[in-house]
Amino acid sequence: MRRIFFMVVLIGMMVMAAMPTFAAEQVSKKDQQQIMNVAHRGASGHAPENTMAAFHKGVKMKADYIEIDVQMTKDGELIAIHDTTVDRTTDGSGLVSSFTLEEIRQLDAGSWFSEEFAGETIPTFEEILDEFRGKVGILIELKGPALYPGIEEKVADALIERNMHHSQNNKIIIQSFNHESVQLSKELLPNIPHGVLAGMTWAGVTDEQLAEFATYADHFNPNQNIVTTELVDRVHVVGMEISPYTSRSQEQANRLFELGVDGIITDYPEHVYSHPVKSN
Ligand code: G3P
Ligand code: CA
């Protein structure tokens, strides 16, 4: 009898000890489902970055947003490509700004990644808007805007033409490492949320600087290596959200989640739990 009593007490203690862990996992899972899952340059761990294939893959993998890098051709057309030259991600070479749209469209933007994607082309900004509006959020990065005077106006015009400048409904966010460009874009599109990108040199960002960013930006998106819980809290105090870049492993995604970020910009959307409905 005494033995049974001790067994019951022991089992009870084991159950009690397990409860906090269980509760933490429940909270953790709930929070993680609300995190913004951003497919960086599309699902670029699985398909060639900044191509329709990568963007479609991001949608298929249930990302909340696709991130795109927008630059301009010699004849003033907006296109999606990351580097300021075409060398790394196409079969061509030279500055993006030295190609007309017709010329840059001839390049193969898929084979460098895998033969499976041979023939992928560099998409235009307008094609991306037309294909993905209403299907997924679009995080638009103005890449190297100082090289392309007027790029902010062209991006704004394309959104306004499509009636996509009314913010939340269409899930559009515009961001850049060039903070003057972000301010200019915000003036053109006051109802669209904007983001300030911050590389490693912003590791010592002050509260005053964050407060200044918050006068025109809703998002502060830093390199993941400068993110701490303290930085997350300070960004939240001034009313912005924080979505670090670029997570490329499950461990990195887990770390960012534990730090309490609002979103994760990742090459692998599967590393981030998304909305509960979506994850089924
Ligand atoms: O969205 C942020 C991230 O894309 C910034 O870095 O160099 O990949 O454009 P990068
Ligand atoms: Ca980018």
By alpha-carbon position, which residue is closest to atom 5 of ligand 1?
245
By alpha-carbon position, which residue is closest to atom 3 of ligand 1?
245
Q: Block means of pLDDT (10 residues each) for the chain, length 280 residues? A: 52 46 41 83 98 98 98 98 98 98 98 98 98 97 98 98 81 97 98 98 98 98 98 98 98 96 97 53
Report which secondary-structure segment, H or E, holds 176. Answer: strand 172-176
Three-class DSSP category at 86 = coil
- Beta-strand runs (E) in 157-200: 172-176, 194-198
- Which atom of ligand 1 is nearest the CA belonging to 246? 3
Per-residue confidence (pLDDT) for residue 165, from 0 to 100: 93
Q: What spacing in Å lies between the alpha carbon of 81 and ligand 2's midpoint?
A: 9
> Which tokens is 205 given?
């960002």
State which of 70, 265, 266 you would mutate to test the pocket of ligand 1, scoring each by most atoms of that ligand within 8 A of its C-beta.
Answer: 265
Cα–Cα distance between 23 and 95 in angstroms, integer?
A: 54
Q: What spacing in Å lies between the alpha carbon of 40 and ligand 2's midpoint?
A: 7
Q: Cα torsion at 256, 259, 260, 261 (round to 10°)?
A: -40
Catalytic residue among 56, 82, 165, 179: 82
Per-residue confidence (pLDDT) for residue 103, from 0 to 100: 98
152 CB near ligand 1 (under 6 Å) = no
Residue 165 known to be catalytic: no
Per-residue confidence (pLDDT) for residue 223, from 0 to 100: 98
Which domains, from first to last, does the chain contain? Answer: 37-273 (3.20.20.190)
Per-residue confidence (pLDDT) for residue 6, from 0 to 100: 52
Q: What spacing in Å lies between the alpha carbon of 80 and ligand 2's midpoint?
A: 10
Per-residue confidence (pLDDT) for residue 27, from 0 to 100: 37
State which of 36, 37, 40, 262 you would mutate to test the pocket of ligand 1, scoring each by most atoms of that ligand within 8 A of its C-beta.
Answer: 40
State which amino acid sits at residue 152.
E
Report which secondary-structure segment, H or E, holds 65. Answer: strand 65-72
Residue 82 known to be catalytic: yes
Stated pTM of the model: 0.88
Q: What spacing in Å lies between the alpha carbon of 246 and ligand 1's midpoint?
A: 7
Q: In terms of C-beta density within 10 A (0-12 exposed, 13-18 middle, 19 or more buried), how is residue 96 classed?
A: buried
Q: Are 188 and 103 in contact (CB under 8 A)?
A: no
Three-class DSSP category at 148 = coil
